[in-house]
Amino acid sequence: MTRSHKALTVVLVAALGLWGCAQGSNGDSAERVRQLENDCTRLKDDYRSVAGARDRLRQQVADLESEREKLQKEVETKLALTKERDELVQQVSARTTERDAVQGQLGQVRKGLRNLLGQTEAALGGGSTPAVSAATPATTNKS
């Protein structure tokens, strides 16, 4: 075999190989391209739906964050009001204790005045006017 025969054989085998590859995959490649286009379209639709869901979820997160902040402010306000209410309850309790103490002192002063009045009347008049006792206060009916 000469060199030209070897070269011609290599070229002929290569040409037949290319022609065979082109013939065999021509129908399969068109179907494969359609399948890949369908897959691409489906993936684009999936991407759009996932992107839409992502955007909705981000909006929900933003709404929930603003609601959480609003509720936290309400809780802080209620805590401040509760603290103020507790302080007012303590003040009322203290004022009630003071009032009760003053009423007790006033009761003792009344008893002392009644005793002094009774002693004074007894010393001045003897028995003409009845002495006012500390145990039973004299009441007058105003009708």
The string of pLDDT tens digits covering residues 24-33 is 555 677 888 8
Residue 92: its pLDDT value, please? 96
The string of pLDDT tens digits covering residues 65-90 is 999 999 999 999 999 999 999 999 99
Phi, psi of 2 (to 5 degrees): -90, 170
Considering only residues 114 and 141, tell me which one the structure prediction assigns the higher pLDDT. 114
Mean pLDDT, the chain, rounded, equals 87
Q: Are 130 and 118 in contact (CB under 8 A)?
A: no
Residue 20: its pLDDT value, please? 77
Residue 138: its pLDDT value, please? 54
The string of pLDDT tens digits covering residues 96-116 is 999 999 999 999 999 999 999
State whether the Cα torsion 39-42-43-44 is positive or negative: positive
Residue 19: its pLDDT value, please? 80
Residue 143: its pLDDT value, please? 46
Residue 2: its pLDDT value, please? 87
State whether the Cα torsion 108-110-116-119 is positive or negative: negative
Q: For the residues 29-43, what does the mean pLDDT come to?
A: 91
